Amino acid sequence: MTTTVAVRHRVADFETWLVAYKEHGAVRDRLGCTGDKVLRDANDPDEVLILTYWPALSNAQQFATDPSLPEAMKKAGVVSEPRIEFYEEASV
């Protein structure tokens, strides 16, 4: 069952954040990320929602607890406490 991780946080500057986000992509790839989507709040472009897709919850949890993540967020200019949520596909 695939897992989606939703991360929402505020950044100091979106363009600076985006560079650091792309640089950290190697870690996501190494841990099994199969894709991602970056969304910006329509009324506040420094409020960012990131969706990442994982083959299993265990991959997603490994990424969320990877020691490189807090440093990457700091470098990227994340200025709010990130909200990290895990979702699994529902059969409908």
Fold assignment, 3-88: Alpha-Beta Plaits (3.30.70)
CB atoms within 10 A of CB 50: 17
Distances from the Cα of 89 to the Cαs of 11, 13, 20, in angstroms? Answer: 28, 32, 29
Segments making up each domain of the chain, as ranges = 3-88
- Tens of pLDDT, residue by residue over 4-59, are 999 999 999 999 999 999 999 999 999 999 999 999 999 999 999 999 999 999 99
Q: Would the pLDDT of 1 be above 80?
A: no
- Say what the pLDDT of residue 44 is: 96
Distances from the Cα of 55 to the Cαs of 4, 33, 38, 44, in angstroms? Answer: 9, 7, 19, 31
- Tens of pLDDT, residue by residue over 55-76, are 999 999 999 999 999 999 999 9
